[in-house]
Structure formats: structure tokens, C-alpha cells
Amino acid sequence: MISTRYNKFAGSWYSDSATESKDKFKKSTSKEYNTIDKSSFVLVPHAGHRYCLSQIISSLNHLDIDSSTETIILIGPSHRVAFKNKIYLTCFKELQTPLGNLNVDYQTINELSRCLPKQFSIAPESMDQNEHCLEIIYPVLKYFIDLNNKTDVKVIPMLISKFDSDKILKDTIHEIFSKFLNPKKTKFVISSDFTHWGSPYNYNFTPDSSKFTAKYITNEHIDLKLDTNKSINLLNLASMLILSPNKKIHTNVYNKMDLLELVDVSPSKNNRSILINFKNYLMDTEDTICGMYPIIFVLNILEDERLRALFNLSNTAGFEFVDYNYSNKVFNTNGYRVSYVSGFISN
């Protein structure tokens, strides 16, 4: 293991000043932080802080860093290195942030890579150092760990891609928490931006208002007037409704989407699991949710009775979405943008 991962993206993707960072983080932290709902699983975007700092903090507001917390697992997608059927673990013992270093649970990392070599490998230094999806979150997570006076908490960064078999992934998760980590003392940060739309991402899917709405939004008749930007918002809303079948989507999300007319409509439903519906949605739309595989990791927990029991999750558990934003408005097919979603798992 290597001593310290330096914060490569500090000073460009986010501030390298401890004072400036703390001031920004404090300003955006919920005034009801100590009383709002907490969760062991939060969904966090990972773009530059000028685009989505508010959404990163909106998610981490809900992370349950309590007295029992020992380990926080961060799971992100690999943007630069292609692989499958494997989880890569950090090769570093500490992670530098402007607010001080995060401590890595490198003993568990070594055990996972030694005992489960088919599923886990330690990432090469360059692979870890050049990946931004977790580093963007590190300083904000450090702020919340310090806020809760839990400086003894350790983190395990993971990069994940596609698993050919959900059964293999479920069995892997079960092995982690039956042999190596205590699920009652472990929390998760799932890193993902949502739709990447436009020519830089080779994605210009625009949902047909009537057919798409009936399949993914509601069976009620709704006359939606959609421009390009609003269509992309509708696409994001569709994926959020799949991930939140109980429609736990806060009103401010609809407001930021300019889709307030959909707040009170009954969502389209079927009897399939969230995992199956999400995979079908991705096949149908080819939506460019870069953290689809970290999300699928969590959905495998929700789908499996023995895994739900480990984490005290009910059979109706799903995502609750609390905030939304996007990089910029798109007015026609020449534009491009990325969407950012804040959420957590609730029972």
C-alpha cells in the first residue's frame, strides 16, 4: 500500500483552501442537520463543486455518521479504465483533502484482495489517482466526519463496473459483510452523476411525450409541453421514479425540473423489482447515468432478502430524492449538459 493519495483535482474542480471550503460547506449544510432523516446509503454527484456542491451536501446531510459508524464505503464508476466483473480498491493508506486526510481501512482492503481475488483487486496508482468520481466527494465527507466528531472513521474507496451476473454480485456483497465488515457499523456513499446529454457524450435521446410519459411517469393523461431542456429533465425524472417506486421525490426537485404539473400524479407501476426496472430502463433509453453500476450494487442489496436483513432494510425500501440540478440549460440539439441528483435510501 502507498502512503498518501494527493488531491489532484483540488484548485481546479474544487477549492484547495481549507478556510474557503469549510465556509462553503457550512453555508450549505441543512439547518435541520441533527433532526432530518438519516440513512446508511446516500447517492452523491461528483462534478466540479461549482456545478453541484449544493447537491453533494444535500446528499451527505442524510448520511448517518453516528456513534456506531466505523467504516464508510465509497463506490464510484471508472471513467478512464474499462473492466468488468471486478471491484478495484484504493492502493492508498490516506486520502489528502484540504480539510485534512481521510484514513483508509487498508487492513480490510488487503484482506478482501487476498481472500477474494476474483472479485477484488487493488487499483494501480495511476488508475486511482486519475479518477475524479470519489475525490470530488472526499473533502465534503471529511467535513461531515469532523462535524460528527468521528475522526476514527475509516473509508474504503471502490471502483466498480459491470458484473455479468447479479448473483455473483449479491454473493460478493454477502461475503463482504459476513466475513470482513460489520453491516451495522458500515455506511455507503454511492457516486453518480445522472444524464449526460449532447454530442460530447454521444447521447441525444429525447423522450416522446405521450408514449414515454405513459410508460415511465404516469398512466394519467397529462398534456406536457416540452422543450429540449425540459425533455432531459423528464428523462431524469423517469429514472428517479423507477428508483423511488413509492414516489419519495421532494417538491423542490419537480420545481427545479420545471415539472411541477407532475407532483401529484400517480406514478406508473408494475410488479417487477427496482433492479429489473432500472436495468430495463437503461436498455430502453441507453441513458448515460455514469454511476449506473454503483447504483446497481445497492439495488442488489434491496432485491435480496438476506442482504436487506443485514442492513435493516424493509422490502419496500427505495431511494428518496431531495435535490436536483444541471450544469446549464440546453435550448437545442447543439447544446449539452449533465444532471445532478441528491438522494438516499429510505424504508
| pLDDT confidence of residue 85 | 92
What CATH number is given to the structural domain containing 17? 3.40.830.10
Is the pLDDT at 268 greater than 90? The verdict is no
How many domains does one find in the chain?
2
| Whether 164 and 55 share a structural domain | yes
Alpha-carbon distance of 347 to 345, in angstroms, equals 7
Is the pLDDT at 223 greater than 90? The verdict is no
Last residue of a domain, one of 254, 283, 312: 283
| Whether 189 and 60 share a structural domain | yes
| Whether 180 and 206 share a structural domain | no
- Three-state helix/strand/coil letters over 309-336: HHCCCCCCCEEEEEEEEECCCCCCCCCC
Is the pLDDT at 211 greater than 90? The verdict is no
Last residue of a domain, one of 268, 283, 298: 283
| Whether 208 and 143 share a structural domain | no
Place of cell 422543450: 227
| Whether 181 and 238 share a structural domain | no
pTM value?
0.96
| Whether 143 and 225 share a structural domain | no
Q: Give the whole-number percent of the chain exceeding pLDDT 90.
A: 85
| Whether 148 and 228 share a structural domain | no
Alpha helices in the chain (DSSP H): 18-28, 49-60, 106-115, 125-130, 138-147, 166-175, 209-212, 228-243, 251-257, 274-285, 292-303, 305-310
Place of cell 458484473: 163
C-alpha cell read off for 88: 478495484
Domain of 179 in residue numbering reads as: 2-196+288-346
Q: Where does residue 247 fall: left (phi above 0), alpha (psi -120 to 50 degrees), or beta otherwise?
A: left
Q: Which of 212-226, 248-262, 278-292 has the lowest mean pLDDT?
A: 212-226
